[in-house]
């Protein structure tokens, strides 16, 4: 059963993009996969279309960024892998209601939330899918423990030095005795280190600078990628490069279907949803997709503006009561949105048969738009939703 993940805007090939993919694939396999009946090594296709997105001749130098005038002697570069990981964590923490960067204090306020954020911070810096899967398996045990024990007594006396150790000891059960810790502790402590380093209050550090830069550039690149796509998506006979890239992966995934394991799942983030919708309704109507999950997407908004090639101004004839029919080559469609995410939209009011799924990241503005796939709890809740008919 193959999965195709179509990314959204603002993705460009870099260490950060590749780490994101490793972490996401690990979480998809370990948490979402079982809900879909996915075999552990089922292929996951992640077509990268960012190279065909908007190009900025002056590298977005029009964006005001006063920090660029300052020279930093040392420190973590914002463009390096660890700097990018800290930046992602900074994005997650930007407007969190509870996270202070002190894991013990945060756990006393909201233990399950602290556990989720801790694992998100750890997964943000994984260097292999195996590491991500290891963390994902550990997360499921820790999350179950946090739900069953929302106020564990040991948190009261824990220190930042031994919080992770006690969490892992309490939540993880092994059937063999190991004369060591098993590696997970170091990954989680790296996550803790990122939480501390990503404190938005530390405005002079790399994370803070990255976050401000990210806010500006994300809006700019969203508009740029959307305009570029609309201008260059091509025709059915001659698809544009973005459409061709995504269609190529869909074709490969489609070919992986086997008798008894023949489901095709497509997950699309942000503008990836619009691309997939355009493909399924115009470019390649022959693809039969068993489940489409759009996350933080604007498919409904673009249909409201009638911007798809298959859009018809007269359909439905009776808005806002009426709905556009769900594409016939799509069996199930779940749309995930967060009211804090200004770039995510509902879909139920526009397309018939879609199920809107509200996911509260706890963050606001642009921090939440990129946050879905960083938080392990998102995968857990998505898996639960996918299990429901």
Partner 1 sequence: MTLLYEVAAVGSPGTHLLAIGVGYYPHLLGGDRKLADRPLGLKQLTSPPVSIQALLNWFFAPLLAPGTIGFVNPNAPLASVAALTSAPQPVAITTPNGVVNLQAATRQGIQDAFDAWLLRLKGHADNIGVLYFCGHGITVADHYLLAEDFGHNMNQPWVNAFDISTTIRALEREVPGAVYYFIDACREVSREMAVTLRADPNPLLPLDFDKKVIRRSVTAVFATGEGDLAYAPKGGKVSRFTSALICAMSGFCGVKPPGGTTWNVDGESISNAIRQLLEYEALETPDLTGKGKQVSEQLVQGSPMPLLRLASAPKVKVRLDLAPTHRRADYELYLLSAKGVRVAQVQLDKVFRVELPRGFYEVGAQAPAGGWPPVVHLEEELVPPIYPLILQSQP
Task: Tell me which of 15, 35, 98, 185 binds partner 1, using CB under 8 A.
Answer: 185
Q: In angstroms, what is the minimal distance from the CB of 151 to partner 1?
A: 19
For residues 323 and 353, give the distance between their C-alpha atoms in angstroms, rounded to a whole number.
9
Are the C-beta atoms of residues 29 and 140 closer than 8 Å to each other?
A: no
Q: In angstroms, what is the minimal distance from the CB of 162 to partner 1?
A: 5
- Closer CB to partner 1, residue 64 or residue 153? 153
Which among 23-31, 55-63, 101-109, 165-173 is the span making contact with partner 1, rule CB under 8 A? 165-173
Residue 31, sorted as left (phi over 0), alpha (psi -120 to 50) or beta, turns out to be alpha
Q: What would the x/- binding string for partner 1 be over residues 306 to 325, using CB under 8 A?
A: --------------------
Which among 7-15, 103-111, 164-172, 343-351 is the span making contact with partner 1, rule CB under 8 A? 164-172
177 binds partner 1 (CB under 8 A): yes
Q: What angle do CA 57, 62, 68 make, to 5 degrees?
A: 105
DSSP-H helix ranges across 28-94: 33-36, 81-93
For residues 57 and 54, give the distance between their C-alpha atoms in angstroms, rounded to a whole number.
10
Strand, helix or coil at 226? helix
DSSP codes, 184-219: HHHHHHHHHHHHHHT-TT-TTSHHHHHHHHHHHHHH
Cis peptide before 320 (omega within 30 of 0): yes
Task: Tell me which of 57, 178, 238, 313 binds partner 1, using CB under 8 A.
Answer: 178
176 binds partner 1 (CB under 8 A): yes
165 binds partner 1 (CB under 8 A): yes
162 binds partner 1 (CB under 8 A): yes
13 binds partner 1 (CB under 8 A): no
179 binds partner 1 (CB under 8 A): yes
**Torsion sign, CA atoms 190, 3, 326, 251:** positive
Are the C-beta atoms of residues 196 and 26 closer than 8 Å to each other?
A: no
Alpha carbon separation from 87 to 90, 152, 212 (Å, rounded) = 5, 30, 10
Show contacts with partner 1 in window 122-161 (CB under 8 A): 157, 159, 161
184 binds partner 1 (CB under 8 A): yes
383 binds partner 1 (CB under 8 A): no
Task: Tell me which of 169, 261, 262, 360 binds partner 1, using CB under 8 A.
Answer: 169
Task: Tell me which of 40, 66, 180, 320 binds partner 1, using CB under 8 A.
Answer: 180
Task: Tell me which of 90, 115, 135, 164 binds partner 1, using CB under 8 A.
Answer: 164
- Closer CB to partner 1, residue 165 or residue 356? 165
Q: In angstroms, what is the minimal distance from the CB of 376 to partner 1?
A: 20
168 binds partner 1 (CB under 8 A): yes
DSSP 369: H
Are the C-beta atoms of residues 190 and 150 closer than 8 Å to each other?
A: no
Q: Give the interface size with partner 1 as a residue count (CB under 8 A).
A: 24
For residues 370 and 331, give the distance between their C-alpha atoms in angstroms, rounded to a whole number.
27
Which among 168-176, 300-308, 320-328, 346-354 is the span making contact with partner 1, rule CB under 8 A? 168-176
**Residue ranges in contact with partner 1 by CB under 8 A:** 157, 159, 161-162, 164-166, 168-169, 174-186, 189-190
């Amino acid at each position: 059963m193959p999965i195709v993940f179509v990314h959204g805007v603002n993705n460009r090939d870099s260490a950060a993009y590749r780490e994101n993919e490793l972490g996401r694939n690990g979480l998809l396999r370990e948490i979402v996969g079982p809900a879909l009946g996915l075999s552990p090594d089922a292929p996951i296709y992640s077509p990268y279309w960012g190279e065909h997105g908007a190009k900025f001749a002056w590298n977005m130098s029009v964006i005001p960024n006063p920090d660029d005038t300052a020279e930093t002697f040392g420190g973590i570069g914002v463009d390096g892998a660890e700097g990018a990981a800290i930046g992602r964590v900074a994005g997650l923490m930007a407007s969190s209601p509870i996270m202070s960067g002190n894991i013990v204090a945060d756990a006393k306020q909201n233990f399950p939330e602290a556990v989720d954020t801790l694992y998100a911070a750890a997964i943000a810096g994984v260097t292999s899918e195996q590491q991500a899967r290891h963390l994902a398996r550990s997360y499921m045990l820790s999350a179950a423990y946090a739900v069953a024990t929302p106020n564990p007594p040991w948190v009261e006396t824990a220190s930042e030095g031994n919080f992770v150790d006690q969490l892992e000891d309490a939540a993880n059960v092994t059937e063999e005795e190991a004369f060591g810790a098993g590696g997970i502790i170091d990954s989680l402590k790296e996550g803790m280190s990122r939480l501390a380093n990503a404190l938005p209050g530390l405005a002079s550090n790399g994370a803070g600078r990255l976050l401000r830069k990210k806010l500006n550039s994300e809006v700019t690149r969203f508009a740029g990628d959307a305009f570029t796509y609309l201008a260059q998506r091509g025709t059915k006979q001659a698809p544009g490069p973005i459409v061709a890239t995504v269609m190529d992966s869909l074709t490969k995934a489609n070919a992986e279907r086997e008798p008894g394991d023949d489901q095709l799942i497509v997950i699309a983030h942000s503008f990836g949803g619009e691309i997939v919708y355009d493909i399924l309704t115009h470019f390649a109507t022959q693809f039969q997709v068993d489940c489409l999950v759009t996350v933080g997407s604007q498919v409904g908004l673009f249909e409201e503006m009638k911007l798809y090639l298959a859009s018809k101004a007269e359909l439905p004839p009776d808005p806002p009561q009426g709905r556009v029919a769900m594409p016939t080559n799509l069996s199930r469609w779940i749309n995930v949105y967060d009211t804090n995410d200004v770039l995510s939209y509902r879909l139920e009011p526009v397309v018939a048969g879609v199920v809107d799924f509200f996911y509260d990241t706890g963050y606001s503005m642009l921090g939440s738009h990129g946050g879905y796939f960083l938080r392990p709890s998102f995968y857990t809740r998505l898996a639960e939703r996918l299990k429901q008919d």
